[in-house]
Amino acid sequence: MKEYCGVVGIHGHKDAARLAYLALYALQHRGEESAGIVSYDYKKVHLHKGMGLVGNIFNEDTLKKLKGPIAIGHVRYSTTGSSVTKNVQPLLINHKKGIIAIAHNGNLTNSVELSNELEDSGSILQTTMDSELIVHYLVKDHKNNYREKIVPMFSKLEGAYSFVLMINDAIYAMRDPMGFRPLCMGKIDSAYVVASETCAFDMIGATYIRDIEPGEVVIIDRNGLTSLKAPPNTNLIPRHAFCIFEYIYFSRPDSNIFTKSVYMARKNLGRALAKEHPVSADFVMPIPDSGNYAALGYAEGSGLPLEMAYVRNHYIGRTFIQPSQLIRDFKVRVKLNPIRDVLKGKKIIIVEDSIVRGTTSRSRVKALREAGVSEIHMRVSCPPLISPCFYGIDFPTKKELIAANRSIEEIRQFIGVDSLKYLSLDGMLSSMMLAKEEFCTACFTGNYPTKICRTPSKKALESKLCKGM
């Protein structure tokens, strides 16, 4: 799938960078390619970032150098822009007007158009990240008051964005008007914290205050907190488009996103799946870890026992967000190991959160057959994925989506299961604890909530292509 990233901002705490570091640990599932932290001590800005996991990039020595009561951090899996060092965030710019650093989660759907416009006006882009475009627009005119500049950005940017900016001694947290990506706010002691998910607050002992609203900019400085809203005359679509995949797969189950529990949403999906697609079997088992809670819901809904018959190697990262198919295939083989004594001769139901390319599911089914399972019935806790996502999940072309090119029966045969059933669109939406109209479901329907510049890959800014698919 396409990228997801995680962002965090801390303002007003003497250990801001350390707190950001711990928060990034909690958000590691949102991106394993790179991580970085920028801090500011009111005199000097400090930066440390690199390719790899949070625990490999930072140590005691690097954290000691990240001084100051203000810090922003980022974990990345590349959406727009290749997985290279120059694209690691936070992006830091030292400008005559001061310091600007940005950490961005999401994907601007008009990035090519914005890039062309900036270059035509004389801007020189240093990276291939859409995040850099935001910085250029902030500094391109002669106004020094960033508060006046930030709100007009809503009418300039299209697509999904939740980002945290450090501008001199203030933090700006901004969420797109449709609210694709989560962004929440909390406090620890007298310091404010913003983060992609509430699990980051739990990690550092912060208290959740509220979500940053779609179309809102929250400014945190030494004077406290200010909230600015997109004006009503910006011609923005007056509805939300929360990414439903945050609930299905991406967010941690111990987070509340869009104000609701991820854990409960996944259990609800499993119960709905059991109601729609029952089947006779000895037990239900999940594909760990993302399928655990939907499987629990399916077991409760079906009355069948739940078995944890796959053991996960927790030293292996998330397979779907690895950029290379070769790496994905290897990690599938070493990530999960079946318990043969539990599985041999059994009829089982395995619950998947989703099927993207089908190759991972096929490998898992093969391992289960080798363990002696007599029947395998696969149940998927969302509808078939048939359309690319342009808002931050890594499936940018239809050819990567098995359900866009094969029937359910053909997918069943490819994967090698005895039966395959998906949760219906209505069943999925009815399982959520928010109104159906609040969600983006474009990956299941092809109905996009915004205008789309259909770029062929995450390297859109490298290729400068913007064509129909």
What positions carry a catalytic annotation? 5
Tokens of 402: 């098995």
Closest to 29 measured CA to CA, from 96, 77, 81: 77
Q: What angle do CA 70, 72, 75 make, to 5 degrees?
A: 160
Q: How far apart are CA 159 and CA 149, in angstroms?
A: 19
Dist CA 295 CA 301 (whole Å) = 10
What the block records as the tokens of 170 is: 């203030």
For residues 391 and 106, is the Cβ–Cβ distance under 8 A? yes
* 3-state SS record for the chain: CCCCEEEEEEECCCCHHHHHHHHHHHCHHHCCCEEEEEEECCCCEEEEEEECCHHHHCCHHHHHHCCCCEEEEEEECCCCCCCCHHHCCCEEEEECCEEEEEEEEEEECCHHHHHHHHHHCCCCCCCCCHHHHHHHHHHCCCCCCHHHHHCCHHHHCCEEEEEEEEECCEEEEEECCCCCCCCEEEEECCEEEEECCCHHHHHHCCEEEEECCCCEEEEEECCEEEEEECCCCCCCCCCCCEECHHHHHHCCCCCEECCEEHHHHHHHHHHHHHHHCCCCCCEEEECCCCCHHHHHHHHHHHCCCECCCEEECCCCCCCCCCCCHHHHHHHHHHHEEECHHHHCCCEEEEEECCCCCCHHHHHHHHHHHHCCCCEEEEEECCCCCCCCCCCCCCCCCHHHCHHHHCCHHHHHHHHCCCEEEECCHHHHHHHCCCCHHHEECHHHHCCCCCCCCCCCCCCHHHHCCCCCC
CA distance 144 to 260: 39
Bridge partners of 5, per DSSP, are 76
Beta-carbon contacts of residue 310 (< 8 Å; ≥ 6 apart): 285, 286, 287, 288, 336, 337, 338, 339, 364
